[in-house]
Chains A and B, each alone.
Chain A
Amino acid sequence: MNDDTAFERATRELMELGSDRTPGTTIDAVLLAVRTTPQERDLRIPWRNAPMSNPMRLVAAIAIIVVAGVAAFNLFGSSPGVGGASTPSPTASPSAPASSPSTGPTPSPYSINTTTWTTYTSARYGFSIGHPADWFVHTTATRDWTFPADATVDMKSTALETFVSPDSSIAAAAWSVAVQPGTTLDTWLQAYCPLAESPAPSDCATMPGRTVAASMDGHAGSLVRFTEDTQAFFLVNDRIYVVAIWQSEDFIPGGVSRLLEAYLSTMHLLPGGPAPSGTSPSPS
């Protein structure tokens, strides 16, 4: 049997194993719950069933244009200077000056408001970082992160500062590690990637194409989309700082990268650096 056939057979068996019979107790529990669970009311406007005639379409189109024009005039007509009023983000900060003209980029519909986030300080790793107020601190690091032992990312590791979303569907973690003087971020990433991309280290060949620039507390770094997570890396004073989000990129609208960038925007290095401890060996 060649490997292709064997692989197909093995995957088919993987999908066929076990019984699909729903236990009767599960169905009973559902039907019992249904008896006391009201359905949600559908308050939406019903779909049109009758087709609209062409003259009616024309009238509707003119009406929409007129309404949009009046709305635009009211919004922008009396605004002085360039740019007019900035487009409000659904999550815009309440402290932002509403009337100041904006020449910057229009906020994304997926903008994340970090003003309500809770600040967490890691003396061990020498930074503070925000996390959404309703996320919980899952792990407070009780030991230093080391390479390569901790590079095969395990969110349950006690070497990480880890935050988890209320439904446990997303986890964020941050840590830092001292490296040998002269180590560059690229060389460190080349050594780190095969372990982070386990079980498919060959994916590291395409890592440059999945890397974009990132910044944290005024420091430039790299944001890398791995297969199962997205991580940001910064080299500052012979120490690598890492923030990771465990979920694949398209798990949330706007991308996990945007959530990671929000985390980075709240991150600051402590003036005194991390608490004194032994340095971890560098991968370089």
Chain B
Amino acid sequence: MDRDLVERARSGDQAAFADLVHQVSDTLFGIARRILRDPGLAEDVLQDALVTIWRKLPHLREPDRFEAWAYRILVNACYAAAPRNRLWASTVRILPIDRASDTDDFQAVSDRDELEQAFRRLPLDQRAVFVLHHHAGLPLVAVAEALGIPEGTARSRLHYATRALRTAFEASRARDHLREGRLA
């Protein structure tokens, strides 16, 4: 991240902030979309988060930490918006797809659908850690720093998330094997 750009935006330079937005928006959008699993909601959250980042930029003491600081604002915006998603729409289920063939590709689609459903059932704080670690590529210590939580907490959230996904994945595989056995 261009430190000079951050410093200029911090001192109120709107053109510098526009450049900054163009540099970080895709990354932030990708994180929000993965946490929320809803591109429309992710757009709204990103918009809110970027305006918040602009407002609060003068409080950022260390421009080098801009990205971690921005991640925290974004994830908090997800928390604020997503519960409506989580609480009001948590029963949304992906309909099972018709089983046309027993190819590996089909298995992969089936696995992914199962994981998608399992991911949507995860609490948001676990989703955030999982996305920052596995998608944004942050090591756990950086995830913890970005979210303002102890590293142990980040580790346990990642553990619970991974375990829930793996449980769903293995259940899906077991069902598929059972079905294959019946078809054979």
Contacts and interface: CB of A to CB of B under 8 A. Distances in A.
Contacts of B46: 22, 26, 30
Interface in A5-31: 6-7, 9-15, 17-18, 20-23, 26-27, 29-31
B143 interface: no
Given A34-B54, A169-B80, A248-B123, A155 B87 contact: yes
A117 B27 CA distance: 41
Contact of A20 (B33, B57, B157): B33
Contacts of A34: 14, 17-18, 51, 54
A1 interface: yes
Contacts of A218: none
A39 interface: yes
Contacts of B108: 6, 9-10, 13
B140 to A, nearest CB: 15
Contact of B43 (A17, A26, A40, A154): A26
Interface residues of B, number: 65
A27 B87 contact: no
Contacts, number: 142
B83 interface: yes
Interface SS, B side: helix
Contact of A199 (B29, B47, B88, B118): B118
Given A22-B29, A42-B58, A15 B123 contact: no
Nearest to B121: A199
Contact of B58 (A37, A40, A227): A40
Interface of A: 1, 3, 6-7, 9-15, 17-18, 20-23, 26-27, 29-31, 33-35, 37-42, 44, 47, 154-156, 164, 167-171, 199-200, 202, 227-228, 246-248, 250-251
A36 B59 CA distance: 19
A7 to B, nearest CB: 5
Given A34-B14, A156-B90, 4 more contacts: A22-B28, A30-B25, A34-B18, A38-B55
